[in-house]
């Protein structure tokens, strides 16, 4: 009987010590996978032996701060629907009563602002990709049309128009039609009136307020989030260009009232339909040297690029 009791006590102590030692082991880090589909990101991670829960850590991409966290309990997957343009770093730690693991692999993702590949066609048959950014739908390319929706032609000229009071003109940069396919055309502000119908049916030249809505949605480094990446079209260094919005802004330059063309490759200038005075109107500008966006009131007879927005 004594031997049986001793055997029982020894077995109990072994099991107890094994359990204590097992729980004293800090879990290893899980392996994390992140995938996106439309506006939804799905996270999954490996189950870690000995873990009693997992903590998800997240930070905005590419800023990396501030870092937030959420206790995921014992689950090993998680899905959430975000807004277009949302971008994050994510990582996990496993934990138990003895502590937490190191970070898992760090993953990052960006929710594409455009959830479709729709297009719009102008009166001349030019086809433009479109992009959804927040609550707005924009053309993803610069306007190329030489006619209003009514069929009336928008003239061009090689002369000085500084003395004209309401000039309605369009130009290819440097009067070279080969530039149109990539950069679109440059238009005087007087062409942007809704009554003239510069944009395709159901679309219009954005007001200054609509440009502000776009900027407010993107919050910071707006120019960088709008500009096409790389230096195929933008001059070096094309600072901050990540095109997170899908807007793919290009540096179409401008035409001065005296007929001189400037800044292709360096600047993209875009009219709004809002005037600031009898001679000036509001525009937006992007540059190769900064990730900012600028608001200017410029002479209405300058030639600037146009991006249409959906009604």
**Of 283, 289, 281, whose CA–CA distance to 269 is shortest?**
283
171 CA to centre of own chain: 29
CA atoms within 13 A on the CB side of 78: 19
Cα–Cα distances in angstroms (integers) from residue 255 to residues 154, 174, 252, 280, 303, in the given order: 16, 8, 10, 15, 5
Q: Kindly state the tokens that stand for 252.
A: 């179409």
Residues 58 and 159 in one domain: no
Query: Does a structural domain hold residue 10?
Result: no
> What's the pLDDT at 117?
53
> What's the pLDDT at 11?
45
Residues 49 and 134 in one domain: no
Any idea of the CA torsion for 151, 152, 156, 160, to the nearest 10 degrees? -150
The answer for residues whose C-beta is within 8 angstroms of residue 25's C-beta and 6 or more apart is: 50, 96, 98
Domain span including residue 79 = 26-110
Residues 81 and 174 in one domain: no
Residues 130 and 93 in one domain: no
Residues 127 and 246 in one domain: yes
CATH number for position 39 = 2.60.40.10
pLDDT beneath 70, residues of the chain: 1-24, 38, 112-117
Residues 159 and 251 in one domain: yes
Last residue of a domain, one of 69, 87, 110: 110
Query: Does a structural domain hold residue 18?
Result: no
Residues 199 and 264 in one domain: yes
Express each pLDDT in 66-108 by its tens digit.
999 999 999 999 888 887 778 899 999 999 999 999 999 998 8
Query: Does a structural domain hold residue 9?
Result: no
Query: Does a structural domain hold residue 193?
Result: yes
Query: Does a structural domain hold residue 124?
Result: yes
Query: Does a structural domain hold residue 198?
Result: yes
Report the domain count for the chain. Answer: 2
Task: Look at the pTM and tell me if it is higher than 0.75.
Answer: no
> What's the pLDDT at 195?
81
> What's the pLDDT at 9?
41
Residues 193 and 281 in one domain: yes
> What's the pLDDT at 113?
57
Residues 62 and 135 in one domain: no
Last residue of a domain, one of 82, 110, 138: 110
> What's the pLDDT at 35?
80
Q: Kindly state the tokens that stand for 267.
A: 């600047």
Q: Taking a C-beta distance cutoff of 8 angstroms, is the pair 135, 144 a contact?
A: no
Express each pLDDT in 31-51 by its tens digit.
998 887 767 888 999 999 999
Last residue of a domain, one of 54, 77, 110: 110
> What's the pLDDT at 87?
85
Query: Does a structural domain hold residue 56?
Result: yes
Query: Does a structural domain hold residue 15?
Result: no
> What's the pLDDT at 81?
80
> What's the pLDDT at 22?
44
> What's the pLDDT at 68?
92
């Amino acid at each position: 009987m004594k031997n049986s009791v001793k055997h029982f006590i020894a077995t109990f102590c072994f099991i107890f010590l094994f359990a204590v030692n097992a729980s004293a082991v800090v879990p290893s880090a899980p392996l994390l996978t992140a995938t996106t589909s439309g506006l939804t990101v799905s996270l999954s991670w490996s189950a870690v032996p000995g873990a009693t829960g997992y903590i998800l850590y997240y930070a905005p991409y590419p800023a990396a701060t501030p870092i937030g966290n959420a206790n995921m309990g014992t689950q090993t997957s998680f899905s959430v629907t975000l807004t277009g343009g949302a971008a994050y770093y994510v990582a996990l730690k496993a934990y138990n009563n003895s502590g937490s693991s190191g970070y898992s692999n760090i993953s990052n993702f960006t929710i594409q602002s455009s959830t479709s590949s729709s297009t719009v066609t102008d009166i001349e048959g030019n086809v433009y990709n479109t992009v959804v950014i927040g609550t707005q739908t924009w053309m993803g390319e610069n306007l190329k049309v030489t006619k209003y929706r009514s069929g009336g032609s928008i003239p061009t000229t090689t002369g000085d128009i500084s003395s004209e009071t309401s000039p309605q003109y369009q130009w290819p940069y440097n009067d070279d039609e080969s530039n149109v396919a990539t950069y679109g055309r440059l238009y005087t502000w007087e062409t942007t009136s809704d009554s003239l119908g510069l944009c395709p049916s159901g679309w219009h030249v954005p007001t200054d307020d609509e440009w502000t809505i776009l900027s407010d949605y993107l919050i910071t480094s707006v120019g960088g989030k709008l500009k096409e990446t790389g230096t195929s079209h933008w001059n070096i260094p094309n600072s901050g260009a990540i095109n997170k919005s899908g807007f793919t802004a290009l540096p179409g330059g401008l035409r001065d009232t005296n007929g001189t063309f400037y800044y292709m490759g360096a600047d993209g200038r875009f009219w709004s339909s809002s005037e600031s005075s009898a001679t000036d109107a509001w525009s937006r500008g992007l540059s190769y040297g900064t990730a900012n966006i600028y608001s200017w009131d410029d002479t209405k007879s300058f030639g600037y690029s146009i991006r249409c927005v959906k009604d």
